[in-house]
Chains A and B, each alone.
Chain A
């Protein structure tokens, strides 16, 4: 339900004349060569301009009833990208130890290690890899200092890595609405500074249930272009 990709293409609005030319070329082109003129290009253009209405995380949520969520038989997670007005639900595609690869039907993959996002694929400005091994334990301890190292591929496909020093702190008690039920949770904040500076790069939030210590909801930073990823585990 919902799709990230339709949204991510949203800022890209090529001039209509170019689209027109591309489409008219596609309509006329045929054959069986693997170098069909502009074929893939036009396919991509079409997917960029097709007018799917924006489905943000609230729209996706409103499509889920408490009954539906209560009846879920497998792990099911709601994701949102507020900056891109996009939302989607995903299930577990593969799991290796505590590392889970979440996917929906749009080809986007969100990889989490102990519920901490360590990589995304298919969003464009993906978080290529986060080395954030100490974060989950510090969140459980509700305090502490941890380090992170994030890498991206830049516009020339080269790895760019930035180190962060992060401070974990308690931000108060809140109720998390998991659609089929409410969970009393403590919000833990993680404020990350670009290493060696006092510049705040991002601040993540994690909601830990008072009852079971599970991480049910979080807001985790992905990249400048993508912004934060909202994560809500509707069923574990």
Chain B
């Protein structure tokens, strides 16, 4: 279908464009040289220097036989990791192309000093079918400020030219043999690591100026996956490359490889730590109003005590509404006020609290000394921030006002409040807009996109009890109408997703009754009933224990669901499949910005197991993480990939725009979606909404209180 091709290309360009646009403005340091695998390197061989901490690079590399797309992330200052999707033409001379997914990791053992080189150890393609599998130890040293020399020893594919017997063989005879195990791919290939023959590689990079770099290497990789050279040793060991920094973050390269083919690369680098706008471009807040009458000069006479009692709450609500904050309830006592607010605008809850405090300083009578601000989500108060009015009057623009204001502030659990007056919130909400649904790394196509219209509607019976739904009508997609048939031996809880995409072109995306609540001070609840997600409907219940100050949370979720029909309407007849699924989940937020989540329980296909997720969470809302699920389904029954795993990235729009915004674009990249280890997609799980209103995260972002 011609039209769909055009859409596919357009979407591809859109994604590349978005990445390059963000790269162009991300003020990244000039990128260290990256090789065709998207890892620190010379031309195709690795080098030892890591990227800048947290740098995220998207790489495209192509030559006449191969195309590689790689996503590389500097997880910690020493640890680099990459996920790759590649296409190899005429794989092993069989005529057909191979789509392959692979993971790399490199760890810097030693930093470069004036005398000693940087030293790193790395694994190339260490999970997967192992087309590129190789290991290396590499050292790099600046000979002059502009010239870097690299030398290393490689095993596996990196030990296939002029190889010699493994020096590690003297330690243990097992290092002498590298046996390629039969596998569905996806398993750690650790039984092969550093085994078999080894070979030496090396090269030189010459930075002519800030933009231009020349590189030449002697490659120890003689493998030829596209079988162009019948005898691998016919190819040249010398690869040369030139790279040019078009603008900070965007590097284009040309390579001459193996003496007989050209290649081209494009690297787009950005760093989540460096937002393009370098800060918040939104309007300055209202000044914090004093009680000495000075505020009347800029705010007008109708402030504080001068506001008539019956207009006080409307005045506050209107002021908050202008800031994108909904006043849900208020209670005024002799010397304190409690307000419950729903923050629809600020990605930083501390900023929403700060704006609310400024409006309270304008609208509350002078006798009020204490501002209690409770952040509310789904009708449930999540925490109470208690501010001392007089303290804040003294502190604005005083040295160290961030820490000083935090010292006098108490962040505690939201309590019950006497005489709390609830305000009406619009009960019925609806929206109609376009949607784009992208899926990645389908075995037949790197990106698939559906484009259509989505109608959403919700009705709130009370702030914490609502019914909501989404209806989607597909207008165009990139598929050619054919659906690859699932070969899964498990219940096809996910692998027949393409059938849903094909048959459910006008379907109910979700339609649920949801109730949220709180038991005591630290336990939150959720109950959902209805068509919970595209493929499953039923009932879902969740409990979460999360004290306000705690870095640890414990959750329990139980779902009783049935598999929906592929037309995404109301039936459950196609599959006649029901399952009880659920997990006990532990969450821990480390103070270095890493989040660990462990889920133990039963998955959609009835398999039992554990999911481990590790995310690096940035102070601006970015998340880059990875997860893996191991269940009692054998690797063989699971099929290609052996177990469920993937990486996920969440980009807050506020980061890209420099404006407060609560929307986040999240992408989960799985090498392959199979049926084992699959979880129900519940839209409104408790932990993500609750954690941001709690102490560790609020305190960490407290600077935004004064913004």
Contacts and interface: CB of A to CB of B under 8 A. Distances in A.
Interface of A: 5, 8-9, 11-18, 21, 24-25, 28-38, 40-41, 44-45, 48, 93-96, 99, 101, 103, 106-109, 111, 113, 118-119, 121-126, 128-129, 131, 149, 151-159, 223, 225
B397 A15 contact: no
Interface string B329-353: 0000000000000001100100000
A32 B348 contact: no
A32 B430 CA distance: 6
A117 to B, nearest CB: 11
Nearest to B27: A225
7 contacts: A12-B25, A34-B344, A40-B661, A94-B295, A125-B277, A128-B707, A155-B278
Interface of B: 10, 13-14, 17-18, 20-22, 24-25, 271-285, 287, 290, 294-295, 297-298, 326, 344-345, 348, 397, 399, 401-402, 426, 428-436, 453-454, 456, 458, 618-620, 653, 657-659, 661, 663, 700-701, 703-704, 706-707
Contact of A126 (B20, B273, B279): B279
Contacts of A41: 653, 657, 661, 663
B427 to A, nearest CB: 11
A155 B431 contact: no
A128 B298 contact: no
A31 to B, nearest CB: 3
A38 B433 contact: yes
A152 B290 CA distance: 25
Given A29-B431, A32-B426, A123-B281, A21 B14 contact: yes
Contacts of A28: 432-434, 453
Contact of B18 (A15, A37, A122): A15
Q: Which one of B25, B431, B658 has the greatest number of beta carbons of chain A within 10 Å?
A: B431
A43 to B, nearest CB: 8
Contact of B281 (A14, A17, A122): A122
- Taking chain A's interface residues, is the majority helix, strand, or loop, or is none over half, making it mixed? mixed
B429 A32 contact: yes
A15 B25 CA distance: 11
A151 B458 CA distance: 44
Nearest to B20: A15
Contacts of A108: 283-284
A115 to B, nearest CB: 15
A30 B431 CA distance: 5
Contacts of A153: 279, 703-704, 707
Given A14-B21, A15-B17, A44-B659, A121 B426 contact: no
Q: Which one of B659, B700, B704 has the greatest number of beta carbons of chain A within 10 Å?
A: B659
Pick the 4 closest A-B CB pairs, nearest first: A107-B283, A156-B619, A31-B431, A15-B17
Nearest to B425: A34
Nearest to A126: B279
Contacts of A103: 284
B230 to A, nearest CB: 43
A113 B399 CA distance: 13
B577 to A, nearest CB: 32
Contacts of A159: 402, 703
A94 B300 CA distance: 11
Contacts of A223: 278
A179 B704 CA distance: 39
Contacts of B618: 155-156
